[in-house]
Amino acid sequence: MLGYDAPRWHALLNDLPAALLIVAVCFDLAAATGKRESLRWAGMWTLWAGVLGGWAAVVAGELAKGSIDHGEAIHELMQQHERQGLVTMSIFTAILAWKMYRRFALARTEELVLRVLSIFGVAGILYTGAAGGKLMFEHAAGIPTKTLEAEVENREAGHQHEPGEAEEHEHGAPADTAKGAHVDPPGTPPHKH
């Protein structure tokens, strides 16, 4: 749809809900310490948006897992990522459902329990994101094997820099501030510059 396959949809959808859920927790904690009703409602609306978007990311991830080339290492990490994502989204969904069930009139003990749960939810977001990052950046999950093979060949062929470009190549640093020679990312095959 719109030129995107399931892995790209998952990548597109997963960042904003994670940020919204973390911000919802921050709003809730700020509302508790500052006794500001506006922060409480900002947290509620942000929680709503984060939960809806988070489940959209989960659905896209479920569709993606069956459509990417992968071996055993990616498969195990993908299962871990999926499991943690489901647990995390279940935590935030339960928090939202309980707040709605109680019509946002929570006893002090309930608020405390929900805040502790939300902190576990934030830890779950971080853990899920770390596993997703490992899938992408250490295992190239979602990149078709043919594309990956072509990229390996391209990297092995190396490239040449124009005069003065080698100094600027390292993260766009100007020539007078670049530290030493060009540094390639870890795992890059030896090549000439």
- Give yes or no for a contact between 168 and 193, defined as CB atoms under 8 angstroms apart: no
pLDDT in tens for each of the 193 residues of the chain? 566 788 888 888 999 999 999 999 999 999 989 888 899 899 999 999 999 999 999 999 998 888 887 778 888 988 999 999 999 999 999 999 999 898 878 888 998 999 999 999 999 999 999 999 998 888 888 788 888 888 888 888 888 777 777 665 554 544 444 445 566 677 677 766 6
Neighbours of 85 (CB within 10 A): 25
- 66 in a structural domain: yes
Residue 186, in any domain of the structure: no
Handedness of CA 69, 72, 74, 75 (dihedral sign): positive
* Residue whose tokens read 């994101």: 129
* Residue 52: DSSP 8-state: H
What CATH number is given to the structural domain containing 47?
Answer: 1.20.120
Q: How many domains does the chain have?
A: 1
